[in-house]
């Protein structure tokens, strides 16, 4: 699909924790229907950025416009149009997969939630797990449930923080395919934080690279490789980090 | 309240219902502690009734235990439901959903009321055949005493959940400590004049003091003093607003410091 209007516009976004500048003057935008990778090493500011884009963290300065709304002032106007999945967050462990999905469907005001849960349980191969409490699932199964929860409201904007971390290559590939299918079917925009360069290359239309809280490069994976005359995104990232004294 | 708000509150109620349903010890625990308390204090009351009948007249001890427990249960039920979200690392899922903080507060208060009733009603009913004491004989004023203490419990819970948000699970012990800090000043088992002057000065600013003074007046002298209940209500309203203020302040502070994503120790 052809990316058109901007879903997200971030302008001069900064976050200062006491004397530590975690994110500095971040400016970028996301087009409708794009899958964008937020790349960076440990401590680059990816999770801080995602937290601000989710409304969990108040920026020190800057502007976030989401679906045309001032997200910092009135995040509740758009929260029902987005969702997220993060390894820092779990679903209630004692509740079954089906119970969790029912609760979140109601929380997001999903119409015809029974049908939606059926669809997701098929899409994410959860049919045999629906009556299992979350605490009994393997990490791969938990990730699939978290992704199903993240898609319960058919979000137009989906934020994913390393959703394939600690998963086997086949499951990771399967999840990447689900995400691409979802984008193709719904036209949703996906922001994908990761430090797995290969994965970003495979999945993302565009990359936003961060180091030490700053945006250091932006563009499509191919464009970045050409611009920096490297064979892979990983090499681009390492070269940029070396220049900036990163890692 | 619009339909979306009701939907989101009902989602959380469903979540706590599923949680209770998943663990029978949790269900048992709700009624267990109030019943054990009632039985222990019931036998203490029977023992005292032989040596000092004035101490136990009209089932005052058992009534006091049951009424005080409604504060403790309402607070614990509210705070434990919130702690469940922290223990299961689910808070961020809630705060990035369309759920508003005040809807969370309302959901927790509703769950607290349901759990308090589940806990207190069996204990109060069992006191009738066990010790011949029926708090229900207090009539309508009982509702006033009960609601006031539940309200106090919620006011404490607001402050405690706020502190938990800001300082994480390291502050968990406050959940159990704070109600007991109030207990000596609240004159649950003794009249206000028993306290030394400095404690009386503090006690007069507590809503609980007026509830128990009013209850004693009703049980021991058959005197219904609605003014005491009103004083308790006004103070509770003040504490509730104060508690809500602490929660809102802590929520903002947690949001500024990035504590909502990784809420824990």
What's the ipTM? Answer: 0.90
- Distance CA(A27)–CA(A65), nearest Å, equals 11
- Distance CA(A60)–CA(A51), nearest Å, equals 13
B43 within domain boundaries: yes
CB pairs under 8 A between A and B: 105
- Is B7 an 8 Å CB contact of chain A? yes
Would you call A80 and B252 a contact, using CB atoms and an 8 Å cutoff? no
B230 within domain boundaries: yes
- Is A51 an 8 Å CB contact of chain B? yes
pLDDT of residue B51: 78
- Domain encompassing residue B10: 3-257
Q: pLDDT, tens digit, for every residue of A189-216?
A: 999 998 888 888 889 999 999 989 999 9
Which of A74, A76, A88, A89 to mutate: most B Cβ within 10 Å?
A: A89
CB-based burial of residue A48 (10 Å sphere; 0-12 exposed, 13-18 middle, 19+ buried)?
Answer: buried
Select the residue of A80, A89, A102 nearest B92 (Cβ to Cβ).
Answer: A89
pLDDT of residue B265: 44
Report residue A61: phi and psi, to 5°: -155, 170
Give whichever of A81-90, A106-115, A165-174, B130-139 has the largest mean pLDDT: A106-115
Q: Note the pTM of the prediction, 2 decimals.
A: 0.90
Beta-bridge mates of residue A192: A37, A160
Instruction: Give helix B60-87 / helix B207-221 axis angle, nearest 10°.
Output: 150
Residue A234, pLDDT > 90, answer no
Would you call A95 and B19 a contact, using CB atoms and an 8 Å cutoff? yes
A106 or A1, greater pLDDT: A106
B152 within domain boundaries: yes
Work out the minimum CA distance from A55 to partner chain B, whole angstroms: 7
* Angle (nearest 5°) at CA A8 between A33 and A37: 60
Q: What is the mean pLDDT of chain B?
A: 91
- Distance CA(A94)–CA(A153), nearest Å, equals 22
Superfamily of domain A6-83+157-243: P-loop containing nucleotide triphosphate hydrolases (3.40.50.300)
Beta-carbon contacts of B168 under 8 Å, excluding residues fewer than 6 positions away, are: B86, B259, B263, B264, B265
Domain ranges of chain A: 6-83+157-243
Select the residue of B23, B256, B257 nearest A94 (Cβ to Cβ).
Answer: B23
Is residue B260 very low, low, confident or very high in pLDDT (cuts 50, 70, 90)? confident
In sign, the C-alpha dihedral spanning A45, A49, A51, A57 is positive
B263 within domain boundaries: no
User: Please, are residues B210 and B229 in contact by the beta-carbon 8 Å criterion?
Assistant: yes
Would you call A107 and B261 a contact, using CB atoms and an 8 Å cutoff? no
Q: How many domains does chain B have?
A: 1
Residue A3, pLDDT > 50, answer no
User: Please, are residues A155 and A81 in contact by the beta-carbon 8 Å criterion?
Assistant: yes
pLDDT of residue A151: 96
Q: What is the mean pLDDT of chain A?
A: 91
User: Please, are residues A234 and A198 in contact by the beta-carbon 8 Å criterion?
Assistant: yes
User: Please, are residues A167 and A139 in contact by the beta-carbon 8 Å criterion?
Assistant: yes
B61 within domain boundaries: yes
Residue A2, pLDDT > 50, answer no
- The lowest-confidence range among A44-58, B43-57, B96-110, B149-163 is B43-57
- Is A185 an 8 Å CB contact of chain B? no
Work out the minimum CA distance from A175 to partner chain B, whole angstroms: 20
User: Please, are residues A157 and A50 in contact by the beta-carbon 8 Å criterion?
Assistant: no
């Amino acid at each position: 699909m052809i990316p058109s209007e901007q879903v997200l516009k971030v302008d001069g976004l900064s976050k200062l924790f006491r004397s530590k500048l975690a994110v500095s003057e971040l400016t970028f935008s996301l087009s409708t229907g794009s899958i964008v990778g937020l790349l960076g090493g440990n401590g680059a500011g990816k999770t801080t950025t995602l937290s601000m884009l989710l409304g969990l963290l108040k920026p020190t300065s800057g502007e976030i416009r989401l679906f045309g709304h001032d997200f910092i002032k009135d995040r509740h106007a758009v929260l029902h149009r987005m969702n997220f999945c993060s390894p820092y967050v779990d679903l209630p462990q004692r509740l079954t997969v089906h119970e969790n999905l029912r609760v979140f469907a109601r929380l997001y005001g999903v119409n015809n939630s029974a049908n939606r849960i059926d669809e997701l349980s098929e899409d994410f191969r959860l049919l045999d797990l629906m009556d299992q409490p979350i605490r009994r699932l393997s990490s791969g199964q938990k990730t699939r449930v978290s992704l199903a929860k993240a898609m319960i409201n058919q979000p137009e904007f989906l934020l994913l923080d390393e959703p394939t971390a600690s998963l086997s290559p086949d499951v990771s590939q399967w999840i990447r395919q689900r995400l691409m299918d979802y984008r193709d079917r719904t036209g949703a925009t996906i922001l994908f934080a990761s430090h797995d360069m290969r994965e970003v290359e495979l999945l993302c239309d565009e990359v936003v690279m961060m180091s030490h809280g700053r945006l250091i490069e932006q563009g499509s994976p191919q464009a970045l490789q050409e611009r920096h005359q490297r064979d892979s995104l990983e090499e681009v990232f390492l070269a940029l980090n070396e220049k900036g004294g990163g890692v | 309240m619009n339909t979306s708000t009701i939907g989101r509150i009902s989602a959380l109620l469903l979540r706590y219902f599923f949680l209770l349903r998943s663990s029978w010890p949790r269900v048992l625990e709700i009624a267990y502690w109030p019943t054990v308390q009632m039985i222990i204090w019931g036998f203490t009351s029977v023992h005292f009734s032989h040596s000092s009948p004035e101490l136990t007249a009209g089932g005052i001890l058992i009534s006091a235990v049951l009424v005080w427990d409604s504060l403790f249960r309402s607070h614990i039920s509210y705070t434990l439901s919130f702690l469940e979200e922290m223990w299961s690392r689910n808070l961020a899922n809630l705060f990035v959903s369309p759920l508003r903080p005040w809807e969370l507060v309302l959901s927790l208060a509703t769950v607290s009321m349901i759990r308090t009733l589940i806990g207190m009603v069996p204990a109060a009913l069992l006191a009738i055949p066990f010790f011949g004491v029926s708090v229900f004989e207090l009539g309508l004023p009982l509702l006033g005493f009960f609601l006031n203490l539940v309200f106090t419990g919620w006011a404490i819970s607001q402050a405690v959940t706020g502190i938990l948000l800001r300082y994480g699970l390291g502050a968990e012990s406050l959940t159990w400590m704070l109600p007991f800090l109030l207990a000596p000043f609240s004159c649950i088992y003794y009249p206000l004049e028993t306290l030394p002057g400095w404690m009386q000065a503090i006690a007069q600013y507590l809503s609980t003091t007026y509830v128990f003074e009013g209850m004693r007046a009703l049980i021991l002298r058959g005197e219904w003093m609605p003014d005491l209940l009103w004083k308790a209500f006004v103070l509770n309203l003040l504490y509730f607003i104060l508690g809500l203020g602490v929660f809102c302040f802590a929520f903002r502070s947690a949001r500024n410091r990035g504590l909502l994503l990784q809420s824990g120790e």
